[in-house]
C-alpha cells in the first residue's frame, strides 16, 4: 500500500508550523500507524532530514501517549482504539492522510506531533487519590461493595488519560476525563472520606487549566479508546452539586 502523508511540522512552540508532505510506500496492510511513521522516519534519517517527532510508549492502547489527530479525528477513524492500535488496512490504498497533534489550548505543542498533556496530571494531583494510609491489602470480602457500584468503578477506572476527549470536544472540555477520575473513587467506600474535597479540588483545577465546559456534543464518548460513557459526566455534576450543598450548610 502507498500513501501520501500531510504531517504537521513545527520546530518548537514559538516557531511557525506548517504541513509537510511525505510518501509512505510499500506499506503492509498489517502495519500499525505508528510503525508506518517509524518507517517514514527511517527514510528521513537516511536522507539527513529531521525525523517526525511523535509520542509513543506501550503501543498496546494502554498508556494513552499516542496523541494524534488523524484525518480530523482524535486517534483516527477506528473506534474504540488508540492511534497505536490503528492499522493501515483502515485506509484505502493511495489515499492522503493528514496527521496533526491534539488541538486544545491546555495541551501546548512541544514539537511536531508532540504535546504537553501535564494539565491532566495536575487535575489528578489536585484530588484524584486516597490520602489515608491503606496498610497491607485487606481480605477481598472484608468491605462489601455492591456489584453495580464495583462495575461502574471499574468502567471509570479504565480511562487511560490520553486526552482525546478534550481534543475532540469543540469546547476542549476535560469533563469526561475528570468525571472518570472522580467517579471511580466515588463509587467505592474507600473514596468516601475525601469525596467532597476531591470533586471540588479537581473541578477547580480543571477550570484553572483552561478546559472548556461540556455542552453535550458527545464527541468525547465517540473517540474514547476505553469507551468511557458520557453518563459519568452526569455523575460528576451530581458529586459537585452535592459537595457545594454540603459546604453551603456547613457540613
> Hey, do 3-111 and 118-248 end up sharing a CATH topology, with the first three levels equal?
no
Phi–psi pair at 226, nearest 5 degrees: -95, 5
> Could you tell me whether strands 96-101 and 3-9 are parallel, antiparallel, or unpaired per DSSP bridges?
parallel
Question: In terms of CATH, what superfamily is 118-248?
Answer: Alpha-helical ferredoxin (1.10.1060.10)
pLDDT at residue 240, as a whole number: 97
pLDDT at residue 100, as a whole number: 98
Domain parsing of the chain, residue ranges: 3-111, 118-248
pLDDT at residue 102, as a whole number: 98
Tell me if 185 sits within 8 A of 191, measured CB to CB: yes
Q: What is the pLDDT of residues 76-115, one digit of tens each?
A: 999 999 999 999 999 999 999 999 999 999 999 999 999 9
Q: What is the pLDDT of residues 161-173, one digit of tens each?
A: 999 999 999 999 9
Ranges of residues in the chain whose predicted pLDDT is under 70:
134, 250-251
Chain-centre distance for alpha carbon 127: 18
Burial letters 14-39, b for 16+ CB under 10 A, else e: eeebeeeebebeebeeebbbbbbbeb
pLDDT at residue 172, as a whole number: 97
DSSP the chain: --EEEEEEE-SSTTSPPEEEEEEE-S--TT-BHHHHHHHHHHHHHHTTPPPPP---SSSSSSS----EEETTEET-SSSS--GGG-BGGGS-TT-EEEEEE---TTS-EEETTEE--HHHHHHHHHH-S--S---SPPPTTSS---HHHHHHHHHHHT-----HHHHHSTT-B-HHHHHHHHHHHHTSGGGSTTHHHHHHHHHHHHHHTT-B---S--HHHHH-TT---THHHHHHHHHHHHHHHHHHTT-
Class of domain 3-111: alpha beta
Amino acid at each position: 500500500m502507498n500513501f501520501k502523508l500531510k504531517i504537521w511540522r513545527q520546530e518548537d512552540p514559538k516557531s511557525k508550523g506548517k504541513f509537510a508532505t511525505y510518501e509512505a510506500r510499500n506499506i503492509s496492510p498489517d502495519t500499525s500507524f505508528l510503525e508506518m511513521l517509524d518507517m517514514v522516519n527511517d527514510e528521513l534519517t537516511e536522507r539527513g532530514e529531521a525525523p517526525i517527532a511523535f509520542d509513543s510508549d506501550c503501543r498496546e492502547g494502554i498508556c494513552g501517549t499516542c496523541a494524534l489527530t488523524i484525518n480530523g479525528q482524535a486517534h483516527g477513524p477506528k473506534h474504540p482504539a488508540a492511534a497505536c492500535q490503528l492499522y493501515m488496512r483502515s485506509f484505502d490504498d493511495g489515499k492522503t492522510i493528514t496527521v496533526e497533534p491534539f488541538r486544545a489550548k491546555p495541551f501546548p505543542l512541544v514539537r511536531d506531533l508532540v504535546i504537553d498533556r501535564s494539565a491532566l496530571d495536575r487535575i489528578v494531583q489536585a484530588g484524584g487519590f486516597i490520602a489515608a494510609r491503606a496498610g497491607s491489602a485487606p481480605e477481598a470480602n472484608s468491605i462489601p461493595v455492591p456489584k453495580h457500584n464495583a462495575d461502574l468503578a471499574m468502567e471509570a477506572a479504565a480511562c487511560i488519560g490520553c486526552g482525546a476527549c478534550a481534543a475532540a470536544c469543540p469546547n476542549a472540555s476535560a469533563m469526561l476525563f475528570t468525571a472518570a477520575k472522580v467517579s471511580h473513587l466515588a463509587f467505592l467506600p474507600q473514596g468516601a472520606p475525601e469525596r467532597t474535597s476531591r470533586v471540588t479540588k479537581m473541578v477547580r483545577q480543571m477550570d484553572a487549566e483552561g478546559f472548556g465546559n461540556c455542552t453535550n456534543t458527545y464527541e468525547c464518548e465517540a473517540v474514547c479508546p476505553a469507551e468511557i460513557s458520557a453518563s459519568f459526566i452526569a455523575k460528576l455534576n451530581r458529586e459537585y452539586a452535592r459537595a457545594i450543598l454540603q459546604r453551603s450548610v456547613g457540613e
